Structure 1
Amino acid sequence: MLTISQVSERTGLTPYTLRYYEKIGVLKSPSRRKGGARTYTESEVSYIQCLNHLKKLGLSLEEITEFTRDGCVMEKVQLGEDPAKFTPTLNKRTEILSKYLLDLEAKQQELDQMILLTKEKLAVYHELSKGSYEAPK
């Protein structure tokens, strides 16, 4: 079992954020020790890391809550549950991820253009510093 501080170190989320996610229902309440301190399992840490990845994709907390409503579907299917049972959940998750994939592809295109421009500028600056640059006439 891991403490909230250990989970914070492993996930990059602050203890405050973990408690907030618990408060708004994004995270289930973890087990507690006799003194009330939260304890987390490895499975819960993996789930929190998944939430963190979704947040980094740009999903809102409402979308993350919707996305994770039925827990880890892959884990449930691997444990023998019928995949058909999760069709509505999978459809919603597909919808959410498809939207964000379009956003990410647009950002990637923008980054590719910025990288190209930066490389062109660097090439010009290198030529200028060597004294071999000829301005277009």
Structure 2
Amino acid sequence: MLTISQVSERTGLTPYTLRYYEKIGVLKSPSRKEGGARSYSESEVSYIQCLTNLKKIGLSLEEITEFTRDGCVMEKIELGEDPTKYTQTLDKRTEILSKYLMDLEAKQQELDHMITLTKEKLAGYFELSKERNEIPMK
């Protein structure tokens, strides 16, 4: 079992953020030690890392809450649960991720264009510098 500080170190989220996510329902309350200190399992840390990845791709906390409402559905299905039980959840997750994939692809195209422009500018500057260095000094 891990303390909130250890989970913070492993996930990159501050203890404040972990407590906030718990308060708004993004995270379920972890078990508590005597004295009330939070105690996290490895599976809870994996789940928090999943949340962090969803946040990194741009999902809002509201979307993350919706996305994770039924827990780790893929794991449940792998453990033998009926996939049709999760049709609505899978459809919603597919919709959310498809939207963000389109956004990421658009950003990637924009970055590719910016990289091309930057390379062209650099090539021009290198060429000008080369020409300037080749001019004989009088």
TM-score range, shorter chain: over 0.9
- What is the Cα deviation at residue 122 of structure 1? 1.2
User: 2:23: which partner in 1?
Assistant: 23
Equivalent in the alignment of 1:82: 82
Give the Cα–Cα distance (whole angstroms) in 2 for the partners of residues 86 and 53 of structure 1: 22
SS in structure 2 of the partner of residue 34 of structure 1: coil
TM-score by length of 1: 0.93
Q: Which residue of 2 aligns with 1:109?
A: 109
Unaligned 5+ segments in structure 1 are none
- Aligned partner of residue 39 in structure 2, secondary structure: strand
Give the structure-2-normalised TM-score.
0.93
Residue 42 of structure 1: aligned partner: 42
* CA drift at 1:113: 0.4
1:123 has 2:112 as partner: no
- For 1:131, what is the secondary structure of its paired residue? helix
Task: Tell me, in whole angstroms, the C-alpha distance in 2 between the residues paired with 1:82 and 1:91.
Answer: 15
Runs of 4 or more, structure 1, over 4 Å off, are none
C-alpha deviations, 1:65-108, integer Å up to 9, x for none? 00000000011111111111110000000011111111111100
- Find the aligned partners of 1:18 and 1:37 in 2 and give their Cα distance: 13
**Alpha-carbon distance in 1 for matches of 2:38, 2:108:** 39
- Pair 1:6-2:6 in alignment: yes
Q: Does the alignment pair 1:64 with 2:55?
A: no
Give the Cα separation in 2 of the matches to 1:108 and 1:132. 36
Amino acid at match of 1:3: T
Give identity over the alignment, percent: 84
Matched residue of 2:109: which SS? helix
Q: How many angstroms apart in 1 are the aligned matches of 2:83 and 2:119?
A: 48
Instruction: Quote how far apart the aligned CAs of 1:132 are.
Output: 6.2
| Structure 2 unaligned spans of 5+ | 134-138
Structure 1 residue 58 displacement after superposition: 0.8
Indicate whether 1:96 and 2:105 are aligned: no
Q: What SS does the corresponding residue of 1:2 show, helix, strand or coil? A: coil
- CA–CA distance in 2 between the matches of 1:38 and 1:8? 12
SS in 1 for 2:13: coil
